[in-house]
Amino acid sequence: MRIMIIGAGMVGRHLCEKLSGEGQEVVLVDRDEKKLQRLERELNVMPVHGSGASPKVLEKAGIDQAELFIAVTDSDEINLISCIISRQYKVKTRIARVRNEDFYAQGTSTIEETLGIDLVISPDLAMSEEILRLVTLSKTVEVVEFGHGQVDLLGYLAKEGHPCVGSTMAALHQLQNTYHFLVVAITRGETTIIPRGNDKIELGDKIYLMVRRPDVPAVEHLLFASISRLPRQVFIIGGGPIGSMVARQIEKLNVDISLLEQNSATCKTLAAQLERTVVLNSDGLEAQDLLEEDIDQADLVIAATSSDTTNILSSLLAKHLGAKKCITLISNPSFIPMLSKLGIDVSLSFHQVAANLILRYVRRGGGRIISVAGLLDGKAEVVEMKVPDKDHFVDLPLKHLSFPRGSIVGAIIRGHQTIIPTGETQLAPDDSLIIFFTSDAEHGVASLFGK
């Protein structure tokens, strides 16, 4: 399939890397020739220099042969105009990234119908929703929901005093029938492990669990000796689109919120718009200012400015002063691996969240795939997919299916029932599988299911 991507920024690069790696024919259009040359060397893409809003440039790029058109530049106008232009050609699917909140006043469906765009994504809205999931499940460092909310993939850090530290998978497996969870992966340093019977959870590990939604509190208490509770006091650093969206959502949870913004005019606007949030004129980098506002009592700090440097430094300062947990927004995903080593609890890549939304939509068009989530900076994925309508899948125990090394079935959705499987679990027609796999196992999983 020929895919045309407009915009060679972080989102465009991530999409090129994933889609070209799957063997798709990717054409990348951008006005920055040096950036195109660099990506041509690093990735298997065909670069075209020019504006995505130019019909001549799009024709030169072969838009008449493209089946999928994705516009992800930093300009809403270019993204929308290029998608509108693409309507004149036989492009099957059009996707546009749009940041301006005004476009969403009537809802995304109105924009999509009016402009003939199949999917309009708001990275700011997607990021705020991601943050809100982490706020409500406060012990987690990662949350992905599947089966329309029936089951969650949850990431936790194994810390001193957690009962799970030192436990083997065999020991935890004995509890599975009572607590309905499965450890699908452990990350230890740079290594990702699909654990087996004798593997142990060690201090500092990041553990990925598949858990039925109603069982989350019981599983958290079993493994971590406490459960997720709403934070009592939240600090948000940065009053831009994401910070203000998050504040509005958290206000509904009856939580004490302080929002720090360095621009005084923005502070006045936010103070008028927000009902229960204390708005402070500060950049979040002055220790004395933070202590005067009791940041040492904060259950959660969310660093959501437009500057990676400010977000990282303000998070480190807040942790140093006594804040219990920090969520840090990052534009450059290459920073993420080092942040956990610095003591930052959760780092979210702005561009990866946007790219994951697009990939989820693109992959879903394949038929059996219901949902997709990228994890570990693209080194792993979780896919929710329908069981193929083939005899050798039905009534066969999972242990007899040739799943490649580096993959595991974390859950099965059967109607309204969620099953945390064992090797003996048999598949039934119309089951949906939720499969975790590392990038090394991606082709093996695809081959097994004939994708």
Over the stretch 367-423, which tens digit does the pLDDT of each residue have? 577 888 888 877 888 989 888 776 667 778 898 888 899 999 999 999 889 999 988
pLDDT at residue 367 in the model: 58
Model pLDDT, residue 366: 56
Q: N- to C-terminal Cα distance for the chain?
A: 14
Domains 2-121 and 233-353 are alike in CATH topology: yes
Q: What is the pLDDT of residue 416?
A: 87
* pLDDT tens-digit readout, 335-360: 887 888 888 999 998 888 888 888 88
225: region left, alpha or beta (phi > 0 left; psi from -120 to 50 alpha): left
Cα–Cα distance for residue pair 257/273, rounded to 1 Å: 14
Q: What is the 3-state secondary structure (H, E, C) of 302-314?
A: EECCCCHHHHHHH
233-353, what's its fold?
Rossmann fold (3.40.50)
Does domain 2-121 sit in CATH 3.40.50.720? yes
Q: What is the pLDDT of residue 112?
A: 67
The dotted CATH code for 363-448 is: 3.30.70.1450
Number of H helices, E strands in the chain: 16, 22
Q: What are phi and psi of 369, to 5 degrees?
A: -75, 130
* Selection from 91, 69, 92 nearest residue 80 by Cα: 69
Structural contact between residues 412 and 430, judged by C-beta atoms closer than 8 angstroms: no
State which CATH number among 3.40.30.10, 3.40.1390.10, 3.30.70.1450, 3.40.50.620 fits the domain covering 128-224. Answer: 3.30.70.1450
Domain ranges of the chain: 2-121, 128-224, 233-353, 363-448
Which secondary structure element, helix H or strand E, spans residue 5, and what is its range? Answer: strand 2-6
Low-confidence ranges of the chain (pLDDT < 70): 104-112, 364-367, 390-392, 450-451
252 Cβ contact partners less than 8 Å away, ≥ 6 residues apart = none
Q: Containing H/E element for 243?
A: helix 241-251
Q: Give the pLDDT confidence score for residue 443 in this predicted structure.
A: 84
Token pair for 179:
């607590």
